[in-house]
A and B are shown apart, each in its own frame.
Chain A
Amino acid sequence: MNTAETPFEFFTVSYLTRIGNQSAGTMTEFLRGLHQCSDASIFHHTFQTLSSHHFLTEGFSNDFAQWAHADANREDLAEQLAALDVRDYLSIAALRSDLCRVVGDYCTANPGLSEQTALERFYFCESLEVTLPFGLTARTMEEFRNGIVHLSHASFYFHFLSSRLRLQLQTNDFSHWLANGLGLGTLADSVNHIDIYTNTLDSARAKVLRLIDRERRKG
């Protein structure tokens, strides 16, 4: 059995939502907010919300799309915002740029609609993250599997999804270690291709474990 030189260290994470001082009642104000809000706010409404609403596997992708759909009643815009996949982005700046482009284009094409007042305002918030070592490390596949089984939703999300921003790579903590620690590139790729939009965190975890088990059977 392979043993990694550098162990995988599991972390636990907890988030607080910080309420910002910005809000938007029209699409024009919403666009202004997207330009001006903090990086932490873009992260919160796209990445973090995917964790707190992970059980919704149909039609919910981020807070911005949900507001355009449910409160601003702009279905076409909501679809475009929902189509943005956080896994395609290596930086918040790039994600913000695309969000602003989509909403900006909509406002230009629909100047009248951009000034209409939504049912509810959108409030820009931020995530404040506190991480702590989980007290578990893994050098072998078995230890790694055991660690994943014991993670909370938040910790699984931290390693599997939000790590992409930390690593600035199109991968996640698990795949990164499987490829670089254990030299299992194919398994790393398979784990990285699990669709977080059509899985809950529980079903994504079950898929990771199944892929690991299949690899162990091969060995």
Chain B
Amino acid sequence: MSEVAIASRIPLDEYAALLGEGEIDELRLLAKPLRGRSIEMINSTAVGGGVAEILNRLLPLAEELELNMRWDVMTGGDDFYGVTKSFHNALHGAPYHSDPKDFEIFLACNKRNLARLPLDAEFMIIHDPQPAALIEGRKKNGNHWAWRCHIDLSHPNRQVWDFLEKFVARYDASMFSSPEFARELPIPQYLFYPAIDPLAEKNRDLDPEFVAQTLAHYQIDPLRPILTQISRFDRLKDPVGVIRAYRIVKRYFDCQLVLAGGSASDDPEGAEVLKEVQQEANGEADIHILELPAWAPLGVNALQRASTIVIQKSLREGFGLTVSEALWKKKPVVASAVGGIPVQIIHKHTGLLAHSIEGTAYQIRFLLSHPEIAAKLGENGHEHVKENFLITQKLKRYMTLFLAMARAK
């Protein structure tokens, strides 16, 4: 079977304590006309990656609301995933060397999945390019199909997008993480933000003692300002640029830098970038380069909570949920104005945006000089996340979409 089993339900009452009864009542009201009506989510992986992480949290919530939502994963061989990886990069604007075989492999795999997936739910949500051609299996019963694109399509490779667009245009609706990522399409395009779960280990409240132990474990001084960037060691996250910004700040403030990311041991490029970062740090004691285990939600949570300022100095970014994670913890954030970050950071209201190493350093210095402004940005950021980027809001958007699509027919 392709259906993904979800382990545990999350009582809605636990969210009510964080968000208020009114918000939860509203979820129940929206769910009421959808009870008993089937919803099917389809993506290409059950583990790893942001989509799987979100669906893992979304389905138990949907179950709490008595929604009939299932999650199926398409299957494919190495050749298919090789092709979709190159499509993914090409859609992000990377060079792509056309090979007609790629399109054949893509279509053949989608065709095989057409035969094994039910595709008969009233509301079909297809995630990302890999299963986009499943629209070929649309039943004549007039069910509703929507395509959720999690990637940045602002500068796609023309050939790959032209190929995909033929399928996407046949859906009833599409969803993107930022208006910038959308394309001109003949179907409605909606803004759907990724989301964090406030009750997940990465975001839930922590005992201050645990946070202190984490700092002690990594030999980070809790008494001096801590600047943190949590990101895998990837050039697009510009960890070297973060060190250079830190060095400018360090001339004015006795602070520390934490660069924490997943282990680079099984990622050749990650290992290379990590080496560059270590070279740039040059053994400086106040620069803590932490290779975290692949799954270390509590460690990430503790480091974010211990930070004075959280940095996200990406050169390109899909959405950058680490920003929402930091804002949820009421941390002041200095981040690059790229991808979905400006949606989360409303400049001077929920954080500060920068466009260069020098700009990043200046905004950090400004916040270290004005802790009261930093605290206000953190408070506002928390409210912004609560209003827009929590898993409960995501489910609400889905339910609103289902109701809107059903009414449109």
Q: B-contacting residues of A (Cβ < 8 Å)?
A: 12, 14-19, 21, 23, 52-56, 59-60, 66, 70, 119-121, 123, 125, 128, 130, 132, 134-135, 150-156, 200
A130 and B404 contact, CB distance less than 8 A: yes
Tell me, in angstroms, the Cα distance from A134 to B176 when the chains sit together. 30
Q: For residues 196 through 224 of chain B, which have their beta carbon under 8 Å from a beta carbon of chain A?
A: none
B31 to chain A, nearest CB (A): 10
Q: Which residue of B lies closest to A200 (CB)?
A: B383
Q: Is the CB of A154 within 8 A of B400?
A: no
CB<8 Å pairs between A and B, sample of 16: A12-B25, A14-B26, A14-B397, A15-B400, A17-B191, A19-B189, A19-B191, A53-B384, A55-B383, A56-B346, A56-B349, A70-B353, A121-B180, A132-B30, A132-B33, A150-B25
Q: Across the two chains, which residue of chain A brings its CB closest to B342?
A: A120
A60 surroundings in chain B (CB, below 8 A): 346, 349
Q: Are B182 and A130 in contact (CB under 8 A)?
A: no
Q: Please name all residues of chain A whose beta carbon is closer than 8 Å to the beta carbon of B30 when the two chains form the complex.
A: 12, 14, 130, 132
CA distance A154 to B176 in the complex (A): 22
Is the interface on chain B under 10, 10 to 19, 20 to 34, or 35 or more residues? 35 or more
Residues in chain B near residue A156, CB distance under 8 A: 22
Query: If A52-B387, A70-B347, A132-B33 touch, does A16 touch B397 (CB 8 Å cutoff)?
Result: yes
In the complex, chain A residues whose CB is within 8 Å of the CB of B26? 12, 14, 152, 154-155
Quote the shortest CB–CB distance from B216 to chain A (angstroms): 35
Interchain CB contact under 8 A, B337 and A119: yes
A70 — nearest CB in chain B belongs to which residue?
A: B347
| B25–A123 CB distance below 8 A | no
Minimum distance in angstroms from A13 CB to a CB of chain B = 9
Given contacts A16-B397, A19-B179, A151-B22, contact A55 B380 (CB under 8 A): yes
Closest residue of chain A to B19 (Cβ to Cβ) is A152
- Assess A14 versus B176: contact at CB under 8 Å? Given A66-B346, A120-B337: no
Contact of B236 with A by CB under 8 A? no
Which residues on A sit within 8 Å (CB–CB) of B191? 16-19, 125
- List chain A residues, Cβ under 8 A from B397: 14, 16
Q: How far is the CA of A126 from the CA of B180 in the complex (A)?
A: 15
Question: Would you call B190 and A16 a contact (CB within 8 A)?
Answer: yes
B residues less than 8 Å from A132 (CB atoms): 29-30, 32-33
Least CB distance, A148 to chain B, in whole angstroms: 10
A153 touches B29 (CB 8 A): no
Interface: B160 (CB within 8 A): no
Q: Chain B residues near A119 (CB, 8 Å)?
A: 337, 355
Which chain A residues lie closer than 8 Å to B190 at the CB level?
Answer: 16-19, 128
Which listed residue, B20, B32, B404, touches A128 by the CB 8 Å rule?
B404
Whether A150 contacts B337 in the complex (CB less than 8 A), given A66-B346, A123-B180, comes out as no
Assess whether B388 is interfacial by the CB under 8 Å rule: yes
Using CB atoms, name the residue of chain B closest to A13. Answer: B26
CA distance A53 to B191 in the complex (A): 16
CB atoms of B346 and A150 under 8 A apart = no
Interface centre among B23, B388, B407 (most CB of A within 10 A): B23
**B369-409 CB contact bits vs A (8 Å, 1 = yes)?**
00000000000100110011000000011011101100100
Residues in B lying within 8 Å of A, measured CB to CB: 20-23, 25-26, 29-30, 32-33, 176, 179-180, 182, 184, 188-191, 337, 342, 346-350, 353, 355, 380, 383-384, 387-388, 396-397, 399-401, 403-404, 407
CA distance A153 to B19 in the complex (A): 10
- B22 & A52 in contact (Cβ 8 Å cutoff): no
Nearest A residue to B353 by beta-carbon distance?
A70
Bound: A109/B29 CA distance, A: 51
Which chain B positions have C-beta within 8 A of A121? 180
Q: Name the CB-closest residue of A to B190.
A: A16
A55→B384 contact, CB < 8 A:
yes
- Chain B residues whose CB sits within 8 angstroms of the CB of A17 once the complex forms: 190-191
Alpha-carbon gap, A72 to B13, bound state (A)? 44
Q: How far is the CB of B344 from chain A (nearest CB, A)?
A: 12
Interface contacts beyond A52-B387, A152-B20: sample of 19 additional A-B pairs, CB < 8 Å, sorted by A: A12-B29, A14-B397, A17-B190, A18-B191, A19-B189, A19-B191, A55-B384, A56-B346, A56-B349, A60-B346, A70-B353, A123-B180, A128-B190, A150-B21, A150-B25, A152-B22, A152-B23, A152-B26, A153-B22
Q: Determine whether the beta carbon of B23 is less than 8 Å from that of A14.
A: no
CA distance A20 to B356 in the complex (A): 30
B384 & A18 in contact (Cβ 8 Å cutoff): no
Complex interface: chain A residues within 8 A of B184 (CB): 21
CA separation between A53 and B20, bound complex, in Å?
Answer: 17
Q: 3 tightest A-B contacts by CB?
A: A123-B179, A55-B383, A17-B191
- Residues of A near B400 (CB, < 8 A) are 14-16, 128, 130
Give B340 Cβ to nearest chain A Cβ, in Å.
12
B142 nearest CB across to chain A (Å): 20
Are the CB atoms of A56 and B380 closer together than 8 Å?
Answer: yes
Residue in A closest to B383 when the chains form the complex, CB atoms: A55
**Chain B residues with Cβ under 8 A from A56's Cβ?**
346, 349-350, 380
CB proximity of B251 to chain A, nearest CB, Å: 27
CA–CA, A56 to B26, complex, Å? 23
Which of A14, A15, A54 has the most CB atoms of chain B within a 10 A radius of its CB?
A: A14
A135 x B29 contact (CB < 8 A):
yes
